Structure 1
Amino acid sequence: MKKYGLVAAVALTMLLAACNNNNEETQNNTKPQVEQQSSELQTTKEEKLVVDQLGREVTVPNSIERVVMGGILPYFSTWYVATNSTKEIAGMHPNSYNAAKHSMLAKMSPDVLKADTSFIQNGEVNVEELMKVNPQLYIEIATDEKSIHKVSEAGIPVVALKAIDAAAAEPLATFNSWLEITSQITGTTERANRFLEEGKKVQAQLDEKLKTIEEKDKPRAMMLFRHNEKSITIGGKNFFGNQWLNATGAIDVAENDIQGQKEVNMEQVYTWNPDIIFITNFTETQPADLLENKIAGQDWSQVKAVQEGKVYKIPLGIYRWFPPSGDAPLMLKWLAQKNHPALFDYKIEDEIKAYYKDFYEYDVTDEDIQAILNPSSEAAKY
């Protein structure tokens, strides 16, 4: 595989995501109270200042050879998109590692599987274990004030990133912002710009076709974020799913009832009665579990999407497609086709093959494509 230079910014990576162990992409509205650093920091020739998404000036080495990612789960794939490399990733959250292990990135850049995960214990950062990993830089989700303080106090530079730009009208804003900061840290920008252009181009193509669709003709869709026999958690407004649906010609059934993510009961699902159900990669549930009514204590057979067989598992490429990833343009195309199959008649397998060849210079096999489109339940475990 050739090296482009900054795999950059697919900028579109959409809406992005990130989260911590239990709340991965849903901490979008909480404003952390981590105090801002003063602008009087001094740097050496080997260092530079980077302003993170809490407005803090952070001194980071000019050359990063060991970086660790905490509760901002999707970020490891952003690093790859920006640098075309994972060899610098010395550690990551166990949830991130499990997704990486079941992703295309494990084949494309196997160094990612060398990352240490032992510094996360009982869902929290263990600083003593983290020091053994010897990171030059730590990346954390902006809402995790506790971890930011603990790691900073240990003398490790911490760059904080926000999980989602809730105010953005399109789903790529967060990923774009992550790529921008990563480019500042690493000095790579070339690929990021290519991704940004591709994301804008794909969204413009969708918008051109979707402008002919009246509101009454849009499917009503539901994002099943986390799920098991005891709990049904749905994503709503100011969450990744809502942005994806809005961008691909669907109506989010939960957007007027839920901010972020929320646990609901079957009665609420019956009230919404969605035309389509999308299942994220943050739950082990598969479409067959709903279509064949396998979940004890839950009768999904009464839901329109189940009755019509329109229940889909969101793909997993270089990362889960629900939050931020370099595959965001493909997520847009995949969702648009599910929402409006007659309007978008391309073959998604061909789109995936062309995209991976163009942006990653990687030739995916037919088997790879099927794995992307049909992620296993194992990929959701952590």
Structure 2
Amino acid sequence: MKKKLGFLAAATLAAGLLAACGNDDTKETTSTGEKQTTAEEKIIQDQLGRDVTVPGEIDRIVVGGILPYFSTWYVATNSTKEIVGMHPNSYNAAENSMLAKISPDVLKASTKFVQNGEVNVEELMKVDPQVYFEIATDQKSIEKVEEAGIPTVGVKAIDAAAAEPLATFNSWLKLTSDIKGGDTTDRADKFIKEGTKVQKEIDAKLADVKEKDKPKVLFLFQHNDKSIVVGGANFFSEKWTKATGGIDVAGDSGAQGQKEVNMEQIYKWNPDIIYITNFTQTQPEDLLENKVSGQDWSDVAAVKEGKVYKVPLGIYRWFPPSGDAPLMLKFLAQHNHPDVFDYDMKEEIKTYYKNFYEFDVTDEEVESILHPSSDAAKY
């Protein structure tokens, strides 16, 4: 029997909440020396370094272009009922995720406030958010929403640790804790310790692996018959690859972030392994069976060896930061060095979801995590 219980409160990461205390008329000066908060509000600092005044009690949030953040809210708070709006691309991931089964309130969120790829303030006001979360680089949307009088929090997709997924995820947990507050629990510690433990295990087993024995890895970030976008340096693909004993062929050749390339470049790199993210509808068989019009993948080493894999989707897509990050490390290590690692990913997933989400995953659900639908990438 499945059981939905508490998950990570991002507590070990909470430091210096600026919540006011006392009765309704009491005010407390914050560390700025100029701003003041009441019992009904507090001032937090977003990841743009700005002071943002938010309600002391929050039960209605909207998540814009910072696509993975809605799942972080769940990880930190054990709830999705506060999420009244999210980006359509986030919603497609949510629909096809385990989070929809663990916390089905997430599917009640509206997507109507995003129209033609932009925030429609009139539609946003209809869902009456107390706080709006936006990717830190989208200054236009941040200013538009702020002008409407909605507290807007900028969240960095890549943190100061140069796209290190665990560090980024931890920074999001801290931000959520600052905003939502609440008691601390051992769950956040448990998540962080698990990620650290898994990475140490992988490092120890890879210590004797020579550079010449490491596979050349390519992440296909977005793809269709007209465009090939790969993950390069200073992006999650580089960090995942190097953390699990691979050579980042795109990043090491100078490609930065998300880089559009042609088939001639793919042939030059000739990767041994290709991972396809859930930000594209392309599936492994599209390359393995050479189905893509105008592109011939048949001579690429990864295709010839059958080493093309779809990145899993569990609590959220595994490519960006998520609560399943320790599983992503094991998944990649297993494929990059099957002679070194003997993880049974089906059992690893079941154990992890039981320990961290207190949720019993069925065999069928495990398959859906490891082989996610293309629908998860639709806009």
TM-score, normalised to structure 2, is 0.91
- Say yes or no: does 1:259 pair with 2:253: no
After TM superposition, give the deviation of residue 192 of structure 1 in Å. 2.2
What is the 5 A alignment of 1:27-46?
40-46=34-40
% of aligned pairs identical?
A: 71
Q: How far apart, CA to CA, are the structure 1 residues paired with 2:361 and 2:354?
A: 8
Q: How far apart, CA to CA, are the structure 2 residues paired with 1:211 and 1:378?
A: 39
Contact 1:206-1:248 within 8 A present in 2 as well? yes
Contact 2:244-2:332 within 8 A present in 1 as well? yes
**Letter of the structure 1 residue corresponding to residue 242 of structure 2:** N
**Letter of the structure 2 residue corresponding to residue 90 of structure 1:** V
Larger Rg: 2
In structure 2, the partner of 1:182 is: 176
Of 1, 6, 9 in structure 1, the residue corresponding to residue 8 of structure 2 is 6
Which segments of 5 or more consecutive residues in structure 1 lack a partner in the other structure? 12-37
What is the 5 A alignment of 1:143-162?
143-162=137-156
Aligned residue pair count: 356
Q: How far apart, CA to CA, are the structure 2 residues paired with 1:248 and 1:169?
A: 15
After TM superposition, give the deviation of residue 6 of structure 1 in Å. 3.4
Of 69, 79, 85 in structure 1, the residue corresponding to residue 79 of structure 2 is 85
What is the Cα-based RMSD across aligned positions, in Å? 1.6
After TM superposition, give the deviation of residue 9 of structure 1 in Å. 7.7
- Say yes or no: does 1:381 pair with 2:375: no
What is the 5 A alignment of 1:22-171?
40-165=34-159, 167-168=161-162, 170-171=164-165
- Say yes or no: does 1:193 pair with 2:189: yes
**Letter of the structure 2 residue corresponding to residue 378 of structure 1:** D
What is the 5 A alignment of 1:177-326?
177-188=171-182, 189-190=184-185, 191-255=187-251, 256-326=253-323
Question: Could you say what secondary structure the match of 1:172 adopts?
Answer: helix
Contact 1:287-1:311 within 8 A present in 2 as well? yes
TM-score, normalised to structure 1, is 0.90
Contact 1:282-1:380 within 8 A present in 2 as well? yes
Higher relative contact order (CA 8 A, sep 6+): 1
After TM superposition, give the deviation of residue 141 of structure 1 in Å. 0.5
Contact 1:76-1:89 within 8 A present in 2 as well? yes
- Farther-moved stretch of structure 1 (1-10 vs 141-150): 1-10
Q: How far apart, CA to CA, are the structure 1 residues paired with 2:241 and 2:12?
A: 19
In structure 1, the partner of 2:362 is: 365
Which segments of 5 or more consecutive residues in structure 2 lack a partner in the other structure? 14-31
In structure 2, the partner of 1:353 is: 350
Q: Deviations over 1:205-261 (max 9, x none)?
A: 111111111111111000000111111111100111111001111010001321101
In structure 2, the partner of 1:173 is: 167
- CA distance 1:4–1:212, shift in 2 (3 Å): same
Question: Could you say what secondary structure the match of 2:54 adopts?
Answer: strand
What is the 5 A alignment of 1:322-333?
322-333=319-330
Contact 1:9-1:176 within 8 A present in 2 as well? no
Question: Could you say what secondary structure the match of 1:300 adopts?
Answer: coil
